[in-house]
Structure 1
Amino acid sequence: MDVQGTVAAGYEPLRDAFAENFARRGERGAAVAVYRDGHQVAHLWAGTRDVDGDAPWQAGTAQIVRSATKGVAAAVPLLLHQRGLVDLDAPVGTYWPEYKAAGKERTLVRHLLSHRAGVPVLDTPLTPEQALDPAAGADAVAAQAPAWEPGTEHGYHAQTYSWLIGELVRRVTGRGIGDWLAEEVAGPLGLDLWIGLPDAERHRVGRVGEVEAPAAATPGLRVRPKKSVADAYHDPGSLTRRAFGVIDPPVDENDPAYRAAQLPATAGIATARGLARFYASLIGGLDGGRRLFAPATLTLARTEESAGPDRVLISPTRFGLGYMLHGAASPLLAPGSFGHPGRGGSLAFADPESGIAFGYVTNGLQRNITADPRAQALVRAVAGVIGG
């Protein structure tokens, strides 16, 4: 495989691992970028722009990153808190009065970010048209009775996170979360990432699709609960199936209308470099500039809020405020790392102690929830380079 891009001296093992993903782990088209202490040390890409095509991946090729979007979106309420506009310990109804319904009166803002709100499912799934309508999604989660008492347990809000976080931001700022991100973060920092893809950027985005991983790829680090996520996904009564089936029938992720929607749970579009630069900006001065998260905000992002058995993902998971934390379900670089994977492949995170910020995107979406073998091979390579 002809790998394009550059790595700094000492980071050659990352190039080797990236090439091996194409040779052994079923990669079709992908990119990886790494920053350290705010400066780029690696940016690599290879393969095809489209999972089902032959046009080459370019340096600026972007892809949908599914739930890696959640980590980008989480920065918005945290930055609003940092500016004194959101109280994390206030009831959600303080900002969104309609949310005080069906037993959710005591739901706190921090419960939305830590997957403790109890509304990972909807009694009546949304149609794709309703899902793309911010008002329809917000009305649905506001009316929904929780599956558990908010704050008492946690379970991954795979899709409802879109309307929970999106509507909170809208009520506080008067803007869609993607608009706020573009105007306050991505635009000023020159980041190639979007929650709500502009028409002018559509030409840069490749087609994604589900692909089978070769048998040689399966030993990667993955969730292995007693009852697998796959089994629970197909159990008609399970929260897993219902949480991932909130939109019925499923949306077409290559549909321009879906990509243009401001859905902060699943529909973000990014380059690997855009994701790495975003996380670099959270923890340090990107290219020598200021960092976005004040020390107290950074602590909030990566302090454990939820841990143990996940009502939706079955296996134990760990969350801070809006971010997955390093653990068996989602191995990152080190115990202090925080970020978010996307189902099927993508991964982005930061590790403040080492100064590493990491972004990986792919168009070949494999059948995993977290701990994609390709992403994990790259993380291991980075760990080896920095002595982790």
Structure 2
Amino acid sequence: MAKISGTSTSEYARLGDLLSETLDSGKDVGASVSVTVEGETVVDIWGGWADEAQTTPWGRDTITNVWSTTKTMTFLSTLVLAERGLLDYHEKVSTYWPEFAQNGKADIEVRHLMGHTSGVSAWEQPVAVEDIYDWEKSTAMLAAQAPWWTPGEGSGYHALNQGHLLGEVIRRVDGRMLGQFFAEEIAGPLDADFHIGLDPSEFDRVSNVIPPPALAIDMATMDPDSVLIKTFTGPAPDATESWTPEWRQATIGAANGHGNARSVARIQAIVANGGTVDGVELLSPDTIKMIFEEQANGVDQVLGLPVRFGMGYALHSIAVPYLPEGNYAYWGGWGGSSIIVDIDRKITFAYVMNRMDEGLLGDTRGIDLATEVFKH
């Protein structure tokens, strides 16, 4: 069996076996798993390889691009500002970012950006991946365009631009870019190894993601004016884009966070543990309750799947039948990474890997691990 490094309590020992099995089968190449209970880490394991050629072991401090799991860090950043009374989810975006009122967006509220209901689920064409590296240009583009559906009427997953939308609100409120705010107010105090915008000094620790099989979607046969097509082509980076210095160093709060399961679970344990971890207090229970204000519940017009969105995070619904009833907040990243927060039992679970599967939001590897965690 594949060697698994790290530590785990006896209650969660089966997780090491499951990770070893996926490494042996080739479903995983390199991966990490972490669980916290009441803010304390009870599982911190990893194994496999940091590269597809299997020449460099996945180590304790290996990090990788986690795609949309990054969004949960952006959500947490907005929660910290809400906790401090500086950001109101029910206030109009234009109150903080006046230029956003253009083209029929004057009444869009911050909660619409959080819950994927703003109608602005991507950039309008023409747009290239290089444009989203330019913060001023890319946020001005979003401010100028019109919504693609009536804001507040159902969700359309904000796949790549949600971090720019919320990040610009954060910048207007606080003065700092999202990556700097997150580093100084959240990751730094928690001593958590997660980055939105990676310094080149950290590049040698990065495990490049291994691109997934092509999606079984023939976009050429679909309506080019559909929200789905406009979202997934506005723009459409290949997974290998994440290997570039430009991607790594940019501020893409929806998709370019770099970390491992340990750092993801530790940071999100703030939400699970009532707002405090190891004496670092960032949120009150009342602010955490805001997460569970339902924003949309139905088939998402971008994902094509039933999703129940709260304030940023997805909430427990038929979309996650492997979780027992309870107050869960979760999300995942393209290819498989995932984070699940159990508010009732104060548990966080995180899975981060380099071999991407074809699923947009998780796959059986993470589901099998999560099922084991939450059966207890």
Alignment TM-score, normalising by the size of structure 1: 0.90
- Output one character per residue of 1:168-210: Cα deviation in whole Å (capped at 9) or x when no partner: 1111111110100001110111001011112222221111122
Seen in structure 2, the aligned counterparts of structure 1 residues 286 and 38 have a Cα distance that, compared at 3 Å, is farther
2:222: which partner in 1?
235
1:1-388 aligned within 5 A: 1-24=2-25, 26-212=27-213, 230=217, 235-237=222-224, 238-248=226-236, 250=238, 252-284=241-273, 288-330=278-320, 333-334=323-324, 335-384=326-375, 386=376
State how many pairs are aligned: 371
Per-residue deviation, residues 59-101 of structure 1 (Å, max 9, x unmatched): 1111100000001111111211110111211111111111001
Does the C-alpha gap of structure 1 residues 80 and 5 become closer, same or farther in structure 2, counting only changes over 3 Å?
same
Report the secondary structure of 2:43's partner residue. Answer: strand
Compared with structure 1, are the counterparts of its residues 248 and 349 closer, same or farther at alpha carbon in structure 2 (3 Å cutoff)? Answer: closer
SS at match of 1:93: helix
SS in 2 for 1:365: coil
CA distance, structure 2, for counterparts of residue 269 and residue 233 of structure 1: 32
Give the drift of 1:230: 3.3
Distance between the aligned counterparts of 1:252 and 1:280, measured in 2? 30
Amino acid aligned to 1:306: A
> Alpha-carbon deviations, 1:77-133, whole Å to 9, x = none?
121111011121111111111100111111001110011100113331422221101
Structure 1, residues 248-304: CA drift from partner, whole Å, max 9, x if none? 564711112101111101111111100010111223276542443211111111332
- TM-superposed deviation, 1:370: 2.0
Q: In structure 2, what is the Cα distance between the partners aligned to 1:286 and 1:173?
A: 22
Distance 1:299 1:152 in 2: 23
Moved more, 232-241 or 362-371: 232-241
The 2-side partners of 1:233 and 1:178 are apart by 36
Q: Which amino acid aligns with 2:337?
A: S
Identical amino acids, percent of aligned pairs: 36
1:200-228 deviation digits (Å, cap 9, x = unpaired): 22221111122459xxxxxxxxxxxxxx9
Q: Is the 8 A contact 2:322 2:371 kept in 1?
A: no
In 2, the alpha carbon distance for the partners of 1:233 and 1:199 equals 38
Distance, in Å, in 2 between the alignment partners of 1:332 and 1:78 is 27
Instruction: State the distance in 1 between where 2:230 and 2:112 align.
Output: 20
Change (3 A) 1:333 1:234: farther
Greater shift, 323-332 or 148-157, is seen at 323-332
Letter in 1 for 2:40: H
Could you tell me how far apart the structure 2 residues matched to 1:196 and 1:211 are?
Answer: 23
CA distance in 2, matches of 1:304, 1:179: 29
Moved more, 168-177 or 195-204: 195-204
* Aligned residues of 1:344 and 1:370 also touching (Cα < 8 A): yes
Flag structure 1 segments of 5+ consecutive residues without an equivalent.
214-227
Larger mean CA deviation between 12-21 and 273-282 belongs to 12-21
Could you say if the C-alpha distance between residues 87 and 33 of structure 1 is closer, same or farther in structure 2, counting changes exceeding 3 Å? same
Q: TM-score, normalised by structure 2?
A: 0.93
| Conserved 8 A contact 1:282-1:291 | no
What corresponds to 1:224 in structure 2? none
Segments of 5+ residues of structure 2 without an aligned counterpart are none
SS of 1:242's partner is helix
Secondary structure of 2:340's counterpart equals strand
8 Å CA contact 1:35–1:356 kept in 2: the answer is: yes
CA distance in structure 2 between the aligned counterparts of 1:263 and 1:247, rounded to whole angstroms: 13
Aligned residue for 1:338, secondary structure, equals strand
| Cross-structure match for 1:219 | none
* Alignment partners' CA distance in 2, 1:64 and 1:96: 29
Partner of 1:223: none
Query: Structure 1 328/186 Cα, relative in aligned 2: closer, same or farther at 3 Å?
Result: same
Judge which range, 133-142 or 290-299, deviates more.
Answer: 290-299
Q: Secondary structure at 1:359's aligned position in 2?
A: strand
